[in-house]
Amino acid sequence: MPVMNVIQAVNDALRLELRRDQRVVVLGEDVGAFGGVFRATAGLQQEFGAARVVDTPLAEGGIIGAAAGMALYGLRPVAEIQFADFIFPAFDQIVNEVAKFRYRSGGQYPCPLTIRAPYGGGIKGGHYHSQSPEALFLHTPGLKVVVPSGPYDAKGLLLSAIRDPDPVLFFEPKRVYRAAKGEVPEGEYLIPLGQAAVTRPGTQVTLIAWGAMWHEADQAAREAEAEGIDCELLDLRSLQPLDIETITASVRKTGRAVVVHEAPRTCGFGAELAALIQERCFLSLEAPVARVTGFDTPFPYTLESEYLPRAPRILQAIRATVTY
Amino acid sequence: MPVMNVIQAVNDALRLELRRDQRVVVLGEDVGAFGGVFRATAGLQQEFGAARVVDTPLAEGGIIGAAAGMALYGLRPVAEIQFADFIFPAFDQIVNEVAKFRYRSGGQYPCPLTIRAPYGGGIKGGHYHSQSPEALFLHTPGLKVVVPSGPYDAKGLLLSAIRDPDPVLFFEPKRVYRAAKGEVPEGEYLIPLGQAAVTRPGTQVTLIAWGAMWHEADQAAREAEAEGIDCELLDLRSLQPLDIETITASVRKTGRAVVVHEAPRTCGFGAELAALIQERCFLSLEAPVARVTGFDTPFPYTLESEYLPRAPRILQAIRATVTY
Amino acid sequence: MKRERAAKAPVRADHGTAREWAAGRFLEEFPLYRVVDEEGRLVGGAQLELPGSELLGLYRWMLLGRSLDERMITLQRQGRIGFYIGAIGEEATVFGTVAALEPQDWIFPSYREHGAAFMRGLPLVTFMANLFGNAGDLVKGRQMPCHESWAPGHFVSISSPVATQVTQAVGAAWAARIQGDDMVPIAFFGDGSTSAHDFHTGLNFAAVMKLPVVFACRNNGWAISTPSASQTVSETMAQKAIGYGMRGERVDGNDLIAVWAATRRARQRAAAGQGPTLLELVTYRMEGHSTSDDPRAYRPAEVVEPWKRKDPIKRVQKLLEARGLLDEAGDAVLREEVRLEIQAALREAEAFPPKPPVESLFEDVYAEPGWAQREQLAELRRAMDADPRVANPRHVEG
Amino acid sequence: MKRERAAKAPVRADHGTAREWAAGRFLEEFPLYRVVDEEGRLVGGAQLELPGSELLGLYRWMLLGRSLDERMITLQRQGRIGFYIGAIGEEATVFGTVAALEPQDWIFPSYREHGAAFMRGLPLVTFMANLFGNAGDLVKGRQMPCHESWAPGHFVSISSPVATQVTQAVGAAWAARIQGDDMVPIAFFGDGSTSAHDFHTGLNFAAVMKLPVVFACRNNGWAISTPSASQTVSETMAQKAIGYGMRGERVDGNDLIAVWAATRRARQRAAAGQGPTLLELVTYRMEGHSTSDDPRAYRPAEVVEPWKRKDPIKRVQKLLEARGLLDEAGDAVLREEVRLEIQAALREAEAFPPKPPVESLFEDVYAEPGWAQREQLAELRRAMDADPRVANPRHVEG
Ligand SMILES: Cc1ncc(C[n+]2csc(CCOP(=O)(O)OP(=O)(O)O)c2C)c(N)n1
Ligand SMILES: Cc1ncc(C[n+]2csc(CCOP(=O)(O)OP(=O)(O)O)c2C)c(N)n1
Ligand SMILES: [Mg+2]
Ligand SMILES: [Mg+2]
């Protein structure tokens, strides 16, 4: 099986889907001949032509509005937002239009499109090349939100996202774009949206993470093991639909949970997970659900190591939760 | 003391502040001669002229971008977004610019502005005249978020918001715009941001609400009392800064909490409150923090009574929480 | 590449090279295109290219639109529906455009183009069920009145945020070209909406991609309380096309035939690969913005007067009469037909159960409801069973 | 009211009323304004209105800008800074504009106008501390390199999202007018940024309100990998002014004197209450978009060649030489001065502690930190005390 990094896996998924389904169109800034600033669309315009792999003008609202129109008409557009930080000019189209089309038309106008965006910190990008805005979209019914942590998931989840009947935000953790490598099958395989992966079974505490933070949580779990703490680690993979069963089953078993995300703490998805867990596992809980997150500040530049919830801070939270 | 409704109280606050401070400017769609679609700015252009009370072109991004420029230059703009549902074209300016100006400039460029928007459901407005997007802004460090529930608070909080050194979103619950009436002192008084009001002291369960939902929670508390359940009711008034001390003191006392909001449940501010409470009051909690909220659907039209978390549903949650 | 041309362009050294255009320049450059004058006479050497029967059909549509708007405004005043927004005085911009399109062309409406949906087969009764938001509403009572969808007629779901449909129409045009379909979408929007950002990005994308799409700006003089001069100081909306390297045209929006002919031209150009057109349809909002609005607060009655004489329906009536296609009696018959049609539809629409079923609240959020929707439906049902007030709008007002 | 005029405007009945403009029409209508040709000679009858000493000063600024950009790109390649974005080849658009403004005029930069900050007094060493994001950075190491702020010189905080500064500049102009201040802000942005929505709303607001503001579009031919033809099919950027009823002017952006004179004119008009101006400064991005970019992937080297001959610095050098204000020896002295200045600043900047203090992470979110910031600072300190790896960037990569 070929070994790929996340960018290659994304590229592979796009290529397969462009080949398989004439309705698939890729559009965004610099995605054409250049292949995208992270090269995720490299070679696609060369293979599929400038009509299906399109450089757009610099206007995210235009990209998503146009993609919405394509989706309404029956295509399967895959729009790239160059950095998740630049998705906000398209926010109205996403939350007021794309998310509500099926509902507001009584089911007459589904709007299935995929919005890919490199996301998260850890590449020294400062305020505007580091943000993790998933919670903003999770608060909007009608949208699905997917975040892979490695190449295998990236490919299988992206194929599912493109084929999904609903609009999907597909956030790619750019910190591990090249760093996360692994075996990726050739040809197509689908990872269903809404299934978390239990990447490490354990008994004492449930760790919940996604994207780049899964790697940190995994390292923390390994370090915890060395200290004799047995962690169960979930990689959520898809935040909406959320695999609530796997989460509650795990926490009912362990009685403790630590949630990790990069976004600021307040109103991050960790809050929702904590709320859900205490609602559903109240009698099993032996400690509060802990949140290890980015801080309530804009994303910094120089102090990004301090800002990011990495393994050492996660480990500390694990210890505190287990000894609560 | 004069009796006013919420619109009159808002109008009064704007008028006082326009008189007191030459730096205050009111801008937005239809706010001029017409006085705004809800009449909140009625008479202001007549008194202060078209230079300080300005009808803008129809572009929320332009309104907030321009208001930001005014604030940077030293004015105190108060921008009206005609309905909170239409704030999204300005989302980029708010979360990427206004919220981060002070931080990203190392304190050189504060950006104090107030964004007023009628908000929430209950007026048969359907998808696009009913939304409660507070959680989206609460996830953005740098912004403050205020929601009054009645005329007295509306005036005192709005005056504080306009004078605050930071950008403030001031969401006005339009469902009670005219319905909520009360005595409002003439002249100025300030209600500090960040102080919840304990509008009903109680011992058995803490109810937490804001805006129009405070009225529903209040009614539920009265009905609960008739059933012998003693509720403590907090009107948060300001969600950021949040009065965490009042909340934790109350829940440590009652051991139970019910949070009410109109916005969809997932990733609403109720999630954050539940997360905070279980983090800080874990050992006092005798039942999970309950959330009575709008459902995870777009805001409906005909079934809005069913959708809104009104007193009967709150009462049921109170009972379930108390008997958990 | 553009750069090369730029390098060869003329070069001047005097100060103030950019033309200081005189007032009125763009009014001249974009003259108001008109075929029929206010007395129903053909202007200049114009030919009537629309067959008489079609013209009569369109006249009937305009009567229906007007009559429906009037009736529904009354209905709102009676408290039987919550809201209404129509197109009184702007009928030519709605029916003239759509008549010039092909049936497969998608319509991306603003919120006044209900007539377009009717022409595409939306039954009146279904439209009215939307106004009631009752069990007969195809949109399942989810949106405010006047936010209908009609997929069978390629009439796209209406939303309230203005101008969002502009970029969406561009996307549909793009999709059709990719698919090789002869489909030219039209996007409707108002003068106020030209200030919105989707106007800009939509027109620019369409021009850059040379997409087959028609932009129909209903310049009705007002955005709620503000006149178009508060939205833009360009003399015309048509000249905005220049900034996008696009064709623009200014049309008498109260002249059905001119609107029809201009739209047909724009469609032909689009279908022939010549790109998009911005049509400025100059008309007037004769009534309040909607039933929530009272224009007396900001608009002196006098300014409306001149426009009464330009009524688009009267103009067609005169044209038909002059051509012997209609007489007073025939007109009365048509009006009575339309009245009865509306009356019958209203009766039928009001007969639906007042609410869609409660489970409909949780459908269509996603193709399949997720666990949150399923659990919340169960939660709501339990709540309703326990306390009937949950479903009663009136128990806690005030 | 606009409506009245519209009603009186000429009316035509022939088909195709809108002018089918010929290719090149707008290149003619917006000729490239130029004062000095590529050989440093005054064009036509142009006068040099800039005193020789000022010209020499600007020449030195341009040398500094170029030299700094080159040095910092090297620094990035050496791994000593993480990122750099400069203005090689575009110097005339930066220094020519700012020289024509008054000291009180606010500058709303895009991300290439560092030179404007220097002219307003930002010390080189402070700029470089921003590149390092170290303890000497006024922005406290919070943004990527090249995102400086300099309030003492009214140089506004840079952000990455493009075009957002356009509406902000409009707001500042508006504020100044309300305050009665003689202050004309300038907003810089690229050709790609004309596609963004803030361009549209900013220009429209400014035109409608007739605000004193100058819009400086650095048309450098590229938005990262896409040529301007992918952004717009309008022949010029200047003609976009027409859609806003605004004055537009196309200027040779590699001609320092033309840029200066056009900006001065625009400022005079603004200050005199005649409203905003859109200046299209036609120049070229000679290097990659930034140090993160390698233009060889999308831009053949040949297309850059013609632009090398138009180098804005060489042109001023020739002009100065022709006027006897500079000779080879004098030029060498200037260049050496600039080199030493940069070198000294670099040494000084690198001497700051590499990180701002950890508490700075939580400052300036609000005027006063909230409890969340205070608690989180304490939490972070505890974490750092317990495990030094918390502050170490390298422990978990991969
Ligand atoms: C984004 C957005 N902002 C504000 C509104 C409120 N609003 C509804 S209609 C309207 C005026 C629209 O004017 P115009 O585009 O000229 O259309 P017209 O009503 O005249 O047909 C406004 C401001 C809205 N619907 N959407
Ligand atoms: C809203 C937004 N979208 C995307 C980007 C990524 N990006 C950075 S610079 C750039 C190109 C800008 O081109 P132009 O406006 O011509 O400026 P130039 O770099 O040529 O000076 C893009 C797409 C961004 N910074 N902001
Ligand atoms: Mg209008
Ligand atoms: Mg450029």
Nearest to D155 by CA among D143, D163, D147: D147
pLDDT digits (tens, 9 = 90+) for C270-299: 999 999 999 999 999 999 999 999 999 999
Q: Which residues contact B133 (CB under 8 A, 6 or more apart)?
A: B84, B85, B87, B88, B119, B263
* Structure confidence at residue C20 (pLDDT): 56
Q: Which residues of B touch D176 (CB under 8 A)?
A: 73
Going by C-alpha positions, the residue among C345, C374, C316 that lies closest to residue C122 is C345
Least confident of A274-288, C12-26, D21-35, D52-66: C12-26
Active site residue A139: no
pLDDT tens for each residue of A113-138: 999 999 999 999 999 999 999 999 99
Ligand 1 residue neighbourhood (C-beta within 6 Å): B 29, 58, 60, 82, 86, 89; C 110, 112, 160-162, 189-193, 218, 220, 222-224, 285, 289
Q: List CB contacts of C228: < 8 A, sequence separation 6 or more.
A: C191, C192, C219, C221, C222, C237, D2, D3
Q: Residue type for A141, please? A: P
How do residues A173-213 score in pLDDT, each as one tens digit? 999 999 999 999 999 999 999 999 999 999 999 999 999 99
Query: Could you say which residues from 135 to 174 on chain A have a Cβ atom under 8 Å away from some Cβ of chain D?
Result: none
Does the beta-carbon distance from B62 to D370 stay under 8 Å?
A: no
pLDDT band at residue D6, thresholds of 50, 70 and 90? very low
The pLDDT score that the predictor gives to residue D47 is: 85
Q: Which residues of C177-214 are buried (b: 16+ CB within 10 A; e: fewer)?
A: bbeeeebbbbbbbbbbbbbbbbbbbbbbbbbbbbbbbb
Residue B20 in this model has a pLDDT that exceeds 50: yes
Q: Rounded to an integer, what distance in angstroms lies between the CA atom of residue C93 and that of residue D307?
A: 50
The H helix count followed by the E strand count for chain D is 14, 9
The SS3 assignment for D370 reads coil
Give residue D7's pLDDT.
Answer: 39
D195 touches chain B (CB under 8 A): no
Whether the predicted pLDDT of D392 surpasses 90: no
Percent of chain D residues topping a pLDDT of 70: 94
Q: What is the pLDDT of residue D20?
A: 56
DSSP letters along C67-116, please?
Answer: HHHHHHHHHHHTTSSS-----TT-HHHHHHHHHTS-TT--EE--SS-HHH
Q: Which DSSP string do the residues of C160-210 spell out, in sequence order?
A: SSTTHHHHHHHHHHHHHHHHT-----EEEEESGGGGSHHHHHHHHHHHHHT
Task: Using the atom order of ligand 1, give the atom closest to the CA of residue B58.
Answer: 23
Residue type present at position D355: K
Cα–Cα distance between D383 and D381 in angstroms, integer? 5
Q: How does DSSP classify residue C315?
A: H
Three-state SS letters, A220-255: HHHHHHHCCCCEEEEECCEEECCCHHHHHHHHHHHC
pLDDT value, residue C19: 53
Residue of A nearest to C108 (CA): A69
> Given the structure tokens 């505007």, which residue do they identify?
A128
Whether chain C has a CB inside 8 Å of the CB on A238: the answer is no
Please determine, for residue D16, whether its predicted confidence score (pLDDT) is greater than 60: no
The protein residue with its alpha carbon nearest to ligand 2, atom 11, reads D223
Q: Coil, helix or strand for B289? A: coil
Judging contacts by C-beta atoms under 8 Å, the chain B residues touching residue C197 are 59, 61, 89
Average pLDDT rounded to a whole number, residues D288-301: 94
Sign of CA dihedral D141, D144, D150, D156: negative
Q: What is the arithmetic mean of pLDDT over A264-274?
A: 98
Are residues C179 and A75, on separate chains, in Cβ contact within 8 Å? yes
Buried b (16+ CB within 10 A) or exposed e, D371-382: ebbebbbeebee
Per-residue pLDDT for D71 more than 80? yes
| Mean confidence (pLDDT) of chain A | 98
Closest CA to D161 of C224, A61, C333: A61
C334 has pLDDT over 50: yes
Query: What does the mean pLDDT of chain C come to?
Result: 93
Catalogue all structural domains in chain A, each as residue range(s) with its CATH number.
3-183 (3.40.50.970), 197-322 (3.40.50.920)
Q: What average pLDDT does this structure show over D109-125?
A: 98
One-letter amino acid at C317 equals Q
**Residue D10 pLDDT greater than 60, yes or no:** no
Distance CA C173, CA C105 (A): 9
Q: How buried is D81 (Cβ within 10 angstroms: 0-12 exposed, 13-18 middle, 19+ buried)?
A: buried
- Domain coordinates of chain C in residue numbers? 22-350, 358-395
Q: Catalytic residue among C298, C347, C366, C382, which?
A: C298
> Which tokens is B64 given?
């907030």
Q: pLDDT value at position C259?
A: 98
Instruction: For residue D361, give the DSSP letter.
Output: G
CA torsion, points A27, A28, A34, A36, in degrees to nearest 10? -110
Work out the angle at residue C266's Cα, subtended by the Cα atoms of residues C263 and C269, and round it to the nearest 5 degrees.
150
Rounded CA-CA distance B223/B215 in Å is 12
CA-nearest of B168, A194, D376, A197 to C368 is: A194
Q: Is C71 left (phi over 0), alpha (psi -120 to 50) or beta?
A: alpha
Give the pairing of strands B238-240 and B197-200.
unpaired
- Is it true that the peptide bond before A110 is cis, omega within 30 degrees of 0? no
CA contacts within 13 A on the Cβ side of A260: 32
Q: Is D98 helix (H, G, I), strand (E, B) or coil?
A: helix
Judged by its nearest atom, the ligand closest to the C-alpha of residue D93 is 2
User: Ligand 2: which residue has its CA nearest to atom 2?
Assistant: D161
In terms of Cα–Cα distance, which of D133, D99, D55 is closest to D354?
Answer: D133
Mean pLDDT, residues A144-157: 98
Asked if residue D224 has its Cβ within 6 Å of ligand 2, the reply is yes
pLDDT of B165 over the 90 cut: yes
Residue closest to B40 by CA, chosen among B128, B170, B225 = B170
Question: Which atom of ligand 1 sits closest to the CA of residue C285?
Answer: 20
Alpha-carbon span A215 to A308, nearest angstrom: 12
**pTM of the predicted model, to two decimals?**
0.97
How far, in Å, CA of B13 to CA of B77, rounded?
Answer: 14
Q: How far is the CA of D86 from the centre of ligand 2 (A)?
A: 13
Mean pLDDT is lowest, of B245-259, C55-69, D42-56, for: D42-56
Q: What is the pLDDT of residue C394?
A: 74
- Give φ, ψ of B153 to 5 degrees: -65, -40
* Mean residue pLDDT across chain B: 98
- The architecture that CATH gives domain C22-350 is 3-Layer(aba) Sandwich (3.40)
Give ipTM to 2 decimals.
0.97
